[in-house]
Amino acid sequence: MTKPLERVLKWLLPVLIVVEIVLVWTGWLDLGTAIGVTLAIEVLLVMVAGRQLFVAVRRYRRQRTAGLDVWAALEDGLTVLLPRPLARVVSLEPRMIVCLLLWLFRCRRPGAGQFSYHRRSWGGALLILVLLTVPVEIFVVELLVPWAWLRWLLLIAGIYGVLWFGGLIASLKVLPHRLETGGVRLRHGNLAEVLIPYHEIAGVEQQSLRTPGGRDGLVTDRNAGSAYMAVGGRTDVTLRLRAAHPVNGLLRPTPPVTTVHVAADDPAHLADALRTRT
């Protein structure tokens, strides 16, 4: 299938869904015409969704067979149905919930070849603050918002926001940096990840640096060709690469960088382990 046709099919499914919702809720057409148009759209939806779903499942299985992890394979499979940025966001939702459950039930802790980086994070304290303020917000909404449908909508949005934020904090704890067979996988929870082969690492330095603006998460300095994966506005280990390499962010990869700065709770241990393999 040609690439232009693939791009059209990716957008056709969400567009058809939106069109059907608009027709049903706005009442723009008379009843007979609306039923006919809706049936036609339903047929198109079944045809497009069925074909795309088949291709998506086949791509997912192919990527898993090639050795890709579950979430990366899921994202790649969803690109058949959706544009890449949207596929990344959709695949992120179940991953956040899984991370939250793993954290709550203490199902995963760093083992051999894994290095945590979350100790400077204020996320846990912020999550407690959010949990304390949500009941107050719900009470205020009940008092001030007269429409029941809007109160329910705000309640669902509030619960979803708490779960999403909790999943983000949990991902910092259950997704550590990891030494793999071919390279080191560096992470900032679910929001940033990069796999750097050992042979591409030219040097490893243990140094404490502040990010531009003191920001957390993935920060890119294009002028210096650097990417920061920071916690508490700081990083602890610097990797200098032999060739430029992109870092996968939430919506898109960064421009290729030649230096990656990462946070680590035990930077000496991580630096020594990387030097041993490079």
Instruction: Give how far Cα 39 sits from Cα of 13, 23, 36, 75, Å.
Output: 15, 12, 5, 31
Binned average pLDDT, 10 residues per bin, the chain of 278 residues = 54 63 61 56 55 58 58 60 68 81 76 87 80 81 81 84 87 90 89 90 92 86 89 93 85 84 93 90
Which structural domain, as residue segments, surrounds residue 58? 3-82
The token pair at 186 is 């560096």
Per-residue confidence (pLDDT) for residue 78, from 0 to 100: 61
**Which run of H or of E encompasses 68?**
none
Residue in 45, 43, 42 with CA at minimum distance from that of residue 53: 45
Of 40, 63, 82, the residue at which a domain comes to its end is 82
Which residues, 6+ apart, have CB-to-CB distance to 199 below 8 Å? 242, 278
Query: Within a domain: residue 255?
Result: yes
Per-residue confidence (pLDDT) for residue 264, from 0 to 100: 93
CB 76 within 8 A of CB 6: no
Tell me the per-residue pLDDT of 4-25, one tens digit each, with 9 for 90 and over: 555 555 565 566 666 666 666 6
Of 23, 49, 82, the residue at which a domain comes to its end is 82
Per-residue confidence (pLDDT) for residue 198, from 0 to 100: 93
Per-residue confidence (pLDDT) for residue 9, from 0 to 100: 55
* Burial group, residue 235, by CB count within 10 angstroms (0-12, 13-18, 19+): buried
CA distance 117 to 228: 13
Which residues, 6+ apart, have CB-to-CB distance to 116 below 8 Å? 110, 173, 176, 177, 264, 265, 266
Residue in 211, 207, 209 with CA at minimum distance from that of residue 219: 211
What are the beta bridge partners of residue 229? 218, 262
The token pair at 105 is 């039930």
Helical ranges in the chain per DSSP H:
3-26, 31-65, 70-78, 84-104, 123-144, 148-174, 267-277
φ, ψ for residue 69, nearest 5 deg: -70, 170
CB 187 within 8 A of CB 260: no
Query: Within a domain: residue 48?
Result: yes
**DSSP one-letter code for 232:** T
Of 66, 82, 98, the residue at which a domain comes to its end is 82
**Count of domains observed in the chain:** 2
Per-residue confidence (pLDDT) for residue 103, from 0 to 100: 85
